Amino acid sequence: MDLDAHLAISHTYAIYARAIDEKRFEYLEQVFTPSAALHYEVSGHVFDCTGAGAVAAFSQFLDLCYWTNHVIAPPMIEITGKSAHASARVIATHLQRLPEGTLTRWEVRGSYHDTFALTPAGWRITRRHCVCMDAFGEFLAEGVERFPALAWSDATALA
C-alpha count within 13 angstroms, C-beta hemisphere, residue 124: 20
What is the Cα Rg of the chain in Å?
Answer: 16
Give me the mean pLDDT over the 46-51 stretch. Answer: 96
pLDDT the model gives residue 72: 98
**Spatial separation of the C-alpha atoms in residues 89 and 72, rounded to whole Å:** 6
- Where do the structural domains in the chain lie, given as residue ranges? 3-158
**Spatial separation of the C-alpha atoms in residues 31 and 97, rounded to whole Å:** 29
CATH code of the domain made up of 3-158:
3.10.450.50
pLDDT in tens, 68-103: 999 999 999 999 999 999 999 999 999 999 999 999
pLDDT the model gives residue 154: 80
pTM listed for this prediction: 0.95
